[in-house]
Amino acid sequence: MQLTFSLSSINWNKLASPEFIQLTDKIEKQVLAQFQSYLLEIECKITAPNQQPFIGTGVKYSYLLPSRIPNSINI
């Protein structure tokens, strides 16, 4: 229940950041750790091509990076 409350409230920190999520249940902590792992994997997949921007344009894709999404479902 705490996880649902934390994610549905407006917080201006990083998505899945444990700063405002006070988890006590071991399973909830494991779920959050797995989710954070998925977010890191997604961020790496997005930023890897940014190391070599599109030839000729110099455009980097920085939208929807997990690190730039607020920790809330109220976005």
pLDDT digits (tens, 9 = 90+) for 14-73: 777 777 667 788 998 898 889 999 999 999 988 887 777 666 566 677 778 888 887 766
DSSP, collapsed to helix, strand or coil, labels residue 14 as strand
CB 12, CB 74: distance < 8 Å: no
The token duo for 64 is 């929807």
Compute how many other C-beta atoms are within 10 angstroms of the C-beta atom of residue 3: 16
pLDDT at position 2 over 60: yes
pLDDT score at 58: 65
Residue type for position 10: I
